[in-house]
Structure 1
Amino acid sequence: MLTLLTYPSAFGLFSASPFCVKTAYMLQLAGLHWRRSDMVDPRQMPHSKLPVLRTPERLVPDSDQIRDWLEAQGAEFDRGLSDVQKGQSRALIRMAEEHLYFQIVMDRWANDEVWPVLRDTFFYEIPRIVRRPISNSVRKSVLKGLRSQGIGRFSEAERMARVERDLEAISAYLWQAPYLLGDHPTSADLSVGPMLAAMRATPADTRLTRRIKQDTLLNSYVDRMEQAIPLP
């Protein structure tokens, strides 16, 4: 049986990581037998991050590489799409994973209202007596990385303006069909859906969570994805 090495459930989601949710969606759509195995410290994993798929032959890291492996086994996530639609799908995936994702990280790790919840959720295995200094050190490293990536250099208003253009682009697709590229979920939905769900689930009343919750189109899309592909 396949085993998905994933971050634990959090904030009412299959996992706090949208990449782990994406991979679980792919496994469900592929129709393969699999189980989850939760981890909180991925430093011994390839690339030192999750998700990782344990197959009978090897560990497959990274959601993109896991997709390649699943497709090599016969999975087809973009059945019925034209070449142009497949190109649009790729662009939507990159927008979600290389831009929206970092907005989520910033909204969680840089927000002093969210941080205590994150600390106790992500670092619960660390003894309480040393949890605060260790978690604060990790937080400092994450925020430094966000500044190097670029998103940490913008004000909240600037970040929200950038997010808004992405959400408008996603909404333009969803006005045409129940899913981004048609009547059933395809690979673009498997990336975009979990990102929007993660934005909505952040455990505080932030501008980003309100933006999703108050948008009927996006909010219903997230619900529709969760209903279309139930996760264990």
Structure 2
Amino acid sequence: MTTSPHVVLLGIPKKPNHPSLSGFCQKLETFLRYSKISYELRDTYPFKAPKGKVPYAEITHDDKTVTIPDSHFIIQHLVENGLIKDPDEAAGLTSVQRVESRAFQAYVEEVLYLAIVYDRWYVDENYAVTTRETFGDSPWPVRSFMSWFFRWRVTGVLYSAGVGRHSPEEVHRLQKEAFEALEVKYAEHRYFHGGELPSRIDLTVYGFLANCLTAGSNPYFTNLVLKSTVLRSFVEEMTRSLFPEYKDLLGKVQSS
């Protein structure tokens, strides 16, 4: 008998009723929650993943299970196999709007988020917060080794990508430019393209904003967002609609 599709999202451990400390894990869960597909979360670490990074997913449909890494390709698989409806199609996006969305998605994921990750792992005072938030429940020897290992690994990746070669001031300039672009776009419309329903780019932007506002290790970008009535309103609306259990996040965007 054919069973309903089900997704197991494998990502870093997540605190109950809080967004994930991984932007890509939170992005994927946002898509899953919006699509109303059956899913569950399961803890893992990047070194256990097929591509050495999270998230990856085990997707069961048509009586078989496939394992797919990378949030972008997971979403593509779900859409192309008819397991979820494409949010861009539901929102009525034109071909040009889809192209604009894809370009801005790359901007958020490959420029803004890398600059935020830089703050979390390169800046010593932020790294101390990252260690506490990510490995705080682990015994001291494990916490010490894991935080050192991931700092070594992440900073190496960032350096190879080019972001790690910048100064903190230059990284903050990248964050501010992206923040200003987001604020301008959402000041014009409720959603990125002005429709009545969120599209893929809205779900992506929300996932990363929720992640950034949850982590205490990227204070520069968090302060920018919390000073923006436009972006706080966007985050509040999306949270109430998709993740009403995120009470701390709601309190943060309401009280600022």
Structure 1 length-normalised TM: 0.89
Contact 2:119/2:218, CA 8 A, preserved across alignment? no
- Mark the runs of 5 or more structure 1 residues left unpaired by the alignment: none
User: What is the CA–CA distance in structure 2 between the aligned matches of 1:46 and 1:141, rounded to whole Å?
Assistant: 17
Deviation for aligned residue 1:157: 2.2
Check if 1:59 corresponds to 2:67. Answer: yes
Q: Please name the residue that 1:91 is paired with.
A: 103
Q: Give the Cα separation in 1 of the matches to 2:119 and 2:192.
A: 25
Which residue is equivalent to 1:47? 51
Kept in 2, the 8 Å contact 1:14–1:231? The answer is no
For the residues of structure 1 that align with 2:112 and 2:16, how far apart are their CA atoms?
Answer: 18
SS in 1 for 2:125: coil
Runs (4+) off by over 6 Å: none
| Counterparts of residues 115-194 of structure 1 (less than 5 Å) | 115-124=127-136, 126-181=138-193, 182-194=195-207
Q: Does the C-alpha gap of structure 1 residues 111 and 216 become closer, same or farther in structure 2, counting only changes over 3 Å? A: same
Cα deviation for residue 219 of structure 1 reads: 1.9
* Secondary structure of the corresponding residue to residue 47 of structure 1: coil
SS in 1 for 2:87: coil
How far, CA to CA, are the matches of 1:228 and 1:112 in structure 2?
36
1:34, CA displacement in angstroms?
A: 1.3
1:76 aligns with 2:86: yes
Shift in alpha-carbon separation, 1:204–1:11, aligned structure 2, 3 A:
farther
Tell me the distance in 2 between the aligned counterparts of 1:60 and 1:219: 33
Q: TM-score, normalised by structure 2?
A: 0.81
What amino acid maps onto 1:86 in structure 2?
Answer: R
Task: Give the Cα separation in 2 of the matches to 1:81 and 1:144.
Answer: 38
CA deviation map 1:127-158 (0-9, x unaligned): 41353244223312322322221112222222
**Runs of 5+ unmatched residues, structure 2:** 1-5, 246-256
Length, aligned pairs only: 231
- Equivalent position amino acid for 1:97 in 2: E
SS at match of 1:8: coil
Give the CA deviation at 1:177: 1.3
Q: Which amino acid aligns with 1:44?
A: K
Q: Is the 8 A contact 1:5 1:51 kept in 2?
A: yes
1:198, distance to aligned residue in structure 2 (A): 2.5
Partners of 1:212 and 1:85 in 2: CA distance: 25
